[in-house]
Amino acid sequence: MTTKALYKLYRAVEEARKIDPEMQAHTFNIFLTVCINPNVTMKDLGERLGLSQATMSRNIAALGKVHRLNRPGYDLCVAEEDPVERRRKVVNLTPKGKRVRDALVEIMEQPS
């Protein structure tokens, strides 16, 4: 990896830190996985990332509007009941999540 590529990665991480400087890396990783895989189920997310159902639920709540204990979440993702299989939750980006995704893509696609 070149210094230019590392600088782009650094700028992408700084973009995430604008949301919350203390956001955990696996929370940001879940967000990126939802960006890459729209309409992904909670189960598929957990399997792809090797995370338990409890960890997934906690992080999706943090990425949603309301985190645990009624604290505000990041409002980047929303988990909704699958209309076909009501026991499943499907995760997608919120409008704010789409803006953050687009900002990250812009950073990564900028010429060095």
For residue 68, what are the contacts with CB-CB under 8 A and spacing of at least 6? 58, 61, 62
* CATH number, domain containing residue 53: 1.10.10.10
Q: What pLDDT shows up at residue 18?
A: 93
Least Cα distance to 30 among 73, 1, 71, 70 occurs for 73
Provide the pLDDT for residue 42: 93
Query: Domain count of the chain?
Result: 1
- Supply the pTM of this predicted model: 0.91
Determine the straight-line distance between the first and last CA of the chain, rounded to whole angstroms: 13
The mean pLDDT values, 10 residues at a time, for the chain of 112 residues are 86 91 92 96 94 92 88 94 89 97 93 74
104: containing domain: 3-109
